[in-house]
Structures are given as structure tokens and as C-alpha cells.
Structure 1
């Protein structure tokens, strides 16, 4: 039986089987308890108000939204509530962006089962959970936002542009991306043109190839 000092954890992920497995794992810890799980940002924000969790675990890829956008919303609306971000993508591509958005930790799903309890406890104690390399990069970006030379062309993309780029790589059409992100087709088209310009891509075919390659690199 758990005592009154148990810390409540809310999981935001649109994969039910993963949520169930993660919940069972966390609930085995005497000092932690999953108080709920949601699959969209809107439901997550309502659940935070209702359940008052001590920490929120957010998947980077959610229905109709980017998890990074949700992290920003949580950071703005519930100041002081720590967020641990989960992702299937390599930390070198997303961790820095997630931490700068306000997340207190970044954990890849492939290793989550083994270290999620440790990561939760570390974040709850006020520390940041990420590799030393990622933490160093974030620190350097904060103290010298325009002086870093360790960047990639993808760093030029905003979170929304990166989300559109990722969905193109998954094979979604402009209409499907618009429906997924609840934006107009015209807006998605504007994002596409901005991405092409920032990545120096001339044609849509080049954009698709680059997006597919990006996803392959991210999932290695």
C-alpha cells in the first residue's frame, strides 16, 4: 500500500499499449503513481487542472499536435510543473529543442523501460535528465544564442515546421497534414515553402527525399 508522499504522474501518449506498460512499471515504485493518461494536448491540459499531477510525461508525437508545443503550453500555464519528454527519435535531433521549450528531461522510448523511474525521480528532485552532451549544448545555446557553430540545417526550422517536415517524411499528403495539425491546406503549403527555403531544396521531390532521410536518421 502506498503512503501519502506518493508523487502523481500523468502520461500523455496516443499509444494505449505503451501507456499501459509504462503505467504498470511506474506503479510498481513505492513513491510513484500514475494518476491518469491522455492522448491529446487538450485532454492533457484539462487533466492537469483536474488531477494536479507532480510530473507530466509527454510523447513528442501526439494526435493533431507536437508534444513540444504541449510542453510550451504546460510551461506557460502551469509554471513549476516538470515535464519529462519521451521520444522514439534520437536525442541529437530533438532533445535540445524539447529542453529549450521547457521540458526537464528527454528520454528515448527504446530505453524508457529500464530508466523511466530513475528519470522521473531525478526530474522531481529538480535536476535535468538528459545526456551530458545535450545539457552542455542547451547551456551554450542559452548563454550564447547566436554564437553556436555546432548546428545543423534542421535547427533553422521552427517546431511547427519540423512537425510538418516529419509528417512529410511519414508519407502524409498536404491535406492529411492539414487535418492532423488542424490547420488549413494553405498554411501547410506556406510551411512547406519555408522548409524548402531554409533547407535549400528546390523541388517538392527533394523535400520528400530529405524528410524521409531525416526520419531514417532520427530513428537509428
Structure 2
């Protein structure tokens, strides 16, 4: 009997490739697709899949919100989170929200399938480099090192901070996260306040330094 999988991904081309990848496996099948949080939750309730593959960044929201919704509704289904972010903070937050695995989209197709089968078996999947960074963060937390200052940011603020560090403009960030320019400016202001940065130049400098330190 094939394991039934729901795919929640808002980029049509990547979702199509992912569905094709799963459908070519003899023990797996896709029973539904969605591109946003409300549709994803409804689909999971209707189809009752054995597992879910979830993009962490979705239209007008993010995958972490869907994970929190599933927990609130007491829907117990293993979720593998796919992300463009290699930063361990995203993985930590996904696991805390209820995910059973976290893998970056840059990984090979065979590794994504291996991760999916891992969560289907009831195990937790993390890439070795992500696990190493989580351990590093845990050690830093005990020593009260500055590395943990970034943990003050909300999930969305962390996304904006990461994109700023990669040289993205306000317009590019808005397009990527599907929010308006004013919303991006609000996130930037909150980040500056939480990290105690006096201006935009310091914000860009700190974001760039942080991204470079993670790669």
C-alpha cells in the first residue's frame, strides 16, 4: 500500500517537480496539493495523509503558521519542512512548531525522498550541517553569547533579516514574501529595535555579517 502525501508549496514549477518525484516512487503517492495555509489545513483534514511536505514560505504567510494550526487542531501528521534557508534557527523553530523534519531545497532529490521516508517511519530528520549548527547554538546559549541575539526576532522578522543580509532590496523582499513595501519597512523597524541598531546602514551591515557567518 502506498503512503499518501500532501504537498504544500506555492511555487508551481517546484511543486510540479516535487509531485513528479514522489509519484515515480513505487511506495509513495500524492493525494493533494495546496499553495497556502488555509487550503493546506483543509486538504490535510480532508485527505488524512500519512505525511506532508511543506514549504516554509507560503503566500501571505509561512509554513510555521500551518504547523501551529495543525497543533491547535490536534491533527497528528508527520511534516517534512522544505526551505531555501540553511540557517538552523528556521529548523529549530519548525521542530518546535511540530515538524518532524527539515531539509533545504538545494539538496538532491534522492536526499529529499530519504528525508520523507525517515519522517514516515516516525523518525526526526535533520541534515548533519543543520544539526551541528543547532548544537553550536545550544552551547552559545549556555555561555550567553551574542549569537543568540537573533533569536529575539519573530519568524517573519528572521526571514526579512536573512534576505537583507543576502543583499535583497525592500521591493525584492516584498515580492519574495508577498507583502507590501510598507510591511517590509515595518519589519525592518522592528528588527532594528530588537537588535538595538541605530540606522539602516547598521542593519544591512549586521545582516550581511550574520549571513556570511552562517555559510
Which TM-score bucket, shorter chain as reference?
Answer: 0.7 to 0.9
Output the CA distance in 2 between the equivalents of 1:119 and 1:209: 35
User: Structure 2: any 5+ residue segments left out of the alignment?
Assistant: none
Q: Find the counterpart in structure 1 of residue 191 from structure 2.
A: 195
- CA gap 1:133/1:25 in 2 versus in 1, 3 angstroms: closer
- Residue 152 of structure 1 aligns to a residue whose secondary structure is helix
Output the CA distance in 1 between the equivalents of 2:51 and 2:98: 13
- Residue 19 of structure 1 aligns to a residue whose secondary structure is helix
Output the CA distance in 2 between the equivalents of 1:55 and 1:181: 29
- Alignment TM-score, normalising by the size of structure 1: 0.77
Q: Find the counterpart in structure 2 of residue 50 from structure 1.
A: 46
Q: Find the counterpart in structure 2 of residue 105 from structure 1.
A: 101
Q: Find the counterpart in structure 2 of residue 96 from structure 1.
A: 92
Cα offset, 1:194, TM superposition = 2.9
Output the CA distance in 1 between the equivalents of 2:184 and 2:170: 12
- CA gap 1:75/1:62 in 2 versus in 1, 3 angstroms: same
- Runs of at least 4 residues off by over 6 Å: none
Output the CA distance in 2 between the equivalents of 1:65 and 1:215: 23
- Residue 110 of structure 1 aligns to a residue whose secondary structure is coil
Q: Find the counterpart in structure 2 of residue 115 from structure 1.
A: 111
Cα offset, 1:188, TM superposition = 6.0
1:77-88 alignment, distance < 5 Å: 77-88=73-84
Deviates more, 1:14-23 or 1:204-213: 204-213
Q: Is the contact made by 1:201 and 1:207 (CA closer than 8 Å) also made in structure 2? A: yes
Q: Find the counterpart in structure 1 of residue 169 from structure 2.
A: 171
Cα offset, 1:216, TM superposition = 6.5
Q: Find the counterpart in structure 1 of residue 151 from structure 2.
A: 155
- Alignment TM-score, normalising by the size of structure 2: 0.79
- CA gap 1:148/1:98 in 2 versus in 1, 3 angstroms: farther
- CA gap 1:112/1:57 in 2 versus in 1, 3 angstroms: farther
Paired residue total: 208
Output the CA distance in 2 between the equivalents of 1:176 and 1:109: 21
- CA gap 1:154/1:81 in 2 versus in 1, 3 angstroms: same
Q: Is the contact made by 2:160 and 2:184 (CA closer than 8 Å) also made in structure 1? A: yes
